[in-house]
Structure 1
Amino acid sequence: MKILTVHTFYQQKGGEDFVFDQENALLKSNVDIRSFTGQNAGGLKGAVLFFFSIWNSSVGTRFKNELRSHNPDVVHIHNLHYALGPIIIYLAKKANKKVVVTLHNFRLICPSGILLHDGSLFLDSVKSDFPWKAVFKGVYRNSVLQTFWLAFVTWFHKQMGTWDLVDKYILLTDAARNLFLESSLKINPDKLIVKPNSGPPSTVAKGPRLPHFMFVGRLTEEKGIVAMLTAFEQTGSYLKIAGTGPLENLVQDFCSRCRNISYMGSLTKEEVLSEISKCSALIFPSIWFEGMPMTIIEAFSTGTPVLASNLGAMSTMIQDGTNGMHFKPNDSGDLCKTIKRWNDLGNEEKAVISKNALDSYEALYTPEINRRKLLEIYNSF
Structure 2
Amino acid sequence: MRILQINNYNFIKGGADRVYFNTIKLLEDNNHVVADFSTLNPLNVDSLYTKYFIPLDDYRHKGIIGKIAGVKNYLYNSTSYRNLKKLIEDFRPDIAHIHLFYGGLTSSILKVLKEYNIPIVQSVHDYRILCPANAFLDNKSRICEKCKNKFFVQCSFDRCLESNFFFSSILTLEAYTRKYLLDPLEFIDHYIFVSRFSQAKHIEYDNRFSGKSSHLYNFTFISDTYSIRNNKSYFLFFGRLSKEKGLMTLLEAMKSLDVNLKIAGTGPLQAEVEKYALSNKNVEYLYNKSGQELEELIADASFIIVPSEWYENNPMTILEAYAIGKPVIGADIGGIPEILVNNKTGFLFKSRSVDDLKMAIRNAASLSDSEYLNYSRFARKFAEENFAPQGHYTKLMEVYANILNR
- TM-score under structure 1 normalisation? 0.92
Distance 1:248 1:84 in 2: 29
Contact 2:228 2:324 in 1 (8 A): no
Correspondence 1:1-381 to 2 at 5 A: 1-9=1-9, 13-28=13-28, 29-39=30-40, 40-42=56-58, 43-44=61-62, 48-117=69-138, 118-125=140-147, 127-160=148-181, 161-183=183-205, 185-202=206-223, 204-381=226-403
* Equivalent position of 2:43 in the other structure: none
Q: Which amino acid aligns with 1:105?
A: D
Contact 1:164 1:187 in 2 (8 A): no
**Unpaired segments of 5 or more residues in structure 2?**
41-55
Distance 2:328 2:135 in 1: 22
1:177-197 per-residue CA deviation (whole Å, 9 max, x = no partner) reads: 1111111x4423031211122
Per-residue deviation at 1:366?
2.3
Distance 1:64 1:328 in 2: 48
> SS of 1:120's equivalent?
coil
Identity level (%): 26
Structure 1 residues 56 and 219: alpha-carbon distance in aligned structure 2, compared to 1, 3 A threshold: closer
After TM superposition, the structure 1 stretch with the greater mean CA deviation from structure 2, 243-252 or 102-111, is 243-252
After TM superposition, the structure 1 stretch with the greater mean CA deviation from structure 2, 280-289 or 205-214, is 205-214
> SS of 1:312's equivalent?
coil
Distance 2:260 2:3 in 1: 47
Distance 2:394 2:158 in 1: 42
> SS of 1:273's equivalent?
helix
Distance 1:110 1:330 in 2: 21
Structure 1 residues 369 and 41: alpha-carbon distance in aligned structure 2, compared to 1, 3 A threshold: farther
Structure 1 residues 162 and 258: alpha-carbon distance in aligned structure 2, compared to 1, 3 A threshold: closer
Contact 1:281 1:306 in 2 (8 A): yes
1:229-250 per-residue CA deviation (whole Å, 9 max, x = no partner) reads: 1112112122122222332332
Contact 1:110 1:151 in 2 (8 A): no
Distance 2:356 2:397 in 1: 42
Q: Which amino acid aligns with 1:134?
A: C
Per-residue deviation at 1:270?
1.3
Per-residue deviation at 1:95?
2.1
Q: Which amino acid aligns with 1:304?
A: K
1:321-378 per-residue CA deviation (whole Å, 9 max, x = no partner) reads: 1211111111111111111222333222221111111011111112323322222211
Q: Which amino acid aligns with 2:312?
A: E
Q: Which amino acid aligns with 1:84?
A: L
Structure 1 residues 74 and 213: alpha-carbon distance in aligned structure 2, compared to 1, 3 A threshold: same
After TM superposition, the structure 1 stretch with the greater mean CA deviation from structure 2, 25-34 or 156-165, is 156-165
Structure 1 residues 320 and 271: alpha-carbon distance in aligned structure 2, compared to 1, 3 A threshold: same
Q: Which amino acid aligns with 1:315?
A: P
The answer to which structure has the higher strand fraction is 1
Structure 1 residues 71 and 277: alpha-carbon distance in aligned structure 2, compared to 1, 3 A threshold: same
Per-residue deviation at 1:14?
2.5
Q: Which amino acid aligns with 2:187?
A: L
Q: Which amino acid aligns with 2:316?
A: M
Greater than 4 Å deviation, 4+ residue runs: 43-50
- TM-score under structure 2 normalisation? 0.86
Q: Which amino acid aligns with 2:97?
A: H
> SS of 1:215's equivalent?
strand
Q: Which amino acid aligns with 1:268?
A: S
Structure 1 residues 12 and 212: alpha-carbon distance in aligned structure 2, compared to 1, 3 A threshold: closer
Structure 1 residues 47 and 360: alpha-carbon distance in aligned structure 2, compared to 1, 3 A threshold: farther
> SS of 1:270's equivalent?
helix
Per-residue deviation at 1:110?
0.7
Structure 1 residues 233 and 373: alpha-carbon distance in aligned structure 2, compared to 1, 3 A threshold: same
Distance 1:15 1:195 in 2: 15
Q: Cα RMSD (Å) of the superposition? A: 2.2
Q: Which amino acid aligns with 1:94?
A: E
Number of paired residues?
A: 379
